[in-house]
Amino acid sequence: MFMFIGMAGFLAFIVYLILSVISGLRKTGKAKKHLKMAAIMFVVFMVGAMNSSDELEEAPVETEATVTDEKQETAKEEQKEEIAPSAVADVKNAIQKGMDYQDYKQIEQDQLNVETGETYSIGNGNEGHVLKATDGYVVVGTDYSKVLSVESFASNEEAKSYADRLVKEAEAAELAAKEKIYEESKIKLSGSGDESTDMINLQAGFAVFEGNYTGGSNFIVKLMDEAGNNVELLVNEIGSYKGKTFAMINTTGNYYLDIKASGNWNFSISQQIPPTPAELPTEISGEGDDVVFVRAGGGNYKFTSTHQGSSNFIVRINGTGLLVNEIGNYSGSTRNKLENGDFAIVVKADGKWSIKIEE
Question: How many CB atoms sit inside 10 A of residue 287's CB?
Answer: 15
The answer on 287 and 255 residing in a single domain is no
Domain hosting 54: range is: 2-79
Burial call 246-268: b when 16+ CB within 10 Å, e when fewer? bbebeeeeebbbbbebbeebebb
In the chain, the number of structural domains is 4
Question: For position 75, what pLDDT does the model report?
Answer: 55
Whether residues 94 and 178 share a domain: the answer is yes
Q: Is residue 307's pLDDT more than 70?
A: yes
The half-sphere exposure of 335 on its side-chain side, counting CA atoms within 13 A, is 6
The most distant pair of C-alpha atoms in the chain lies apart, rounded to whole Å, by 148
User: Residue 99 above 80 pLDDT?
Assistant: yes
Instruction: Report the half-sphere exposure of 309 (CA within 13 A, side-chain side).
Output: 21
Q: Which of 143, 167, 183 delimits the end of a domain? A: 183
Average pLDDT on 336-347 reads 97
298: helix, coil or strand? strand
Count CB atoms within 10 A of the CB of residue 315.
22
Q: What is the mean pLDDT of residues 89-106?
A: 97
Tell which of 33, 49, 79 closes a domain.
79
Tell me if 121 sits within 8 A of 127, measured CB to CB: yes
**Which pTM does this prediction carry?**
0.69
Q: Is pLDDT above 80 for 219?
A: yes
pLDDT of residue 35: 67
The answer on 96 and 172 residing in a single domain is yes
Rounded CA-CA distance 332/316 in Å is: 15
Do 177 and 98 belong together in one domain? yes
pLDDT at 59: 45
| Residue 194 and residue 166 share a domain | no
Q: Are residues 309 and 222 in the same domain?
A: no
Rounded to an integer, what distance in angstroms lies between the CA atom of residue 8 and that of residue 43? Answer: 11
Residue where one domain finishes, among candidates 222, 254, 270? 270
Rounded Cα distance, 292 and 319, in Å = 11
pLDDT band at 60 (very low <50, low <70, confident <90, very high): very low
247 and 221 within one domain: yes
pLDDT at 49 over 70: no
113 lies in the same domain as 41: no
One-letter amino acid of 280: L
Nearest-angstrom CA–CA distance, 126 and 117 = 16
Range with the lowest mean pLDDT among 5-9, 131-135, 199-203, 214-218? 5-9
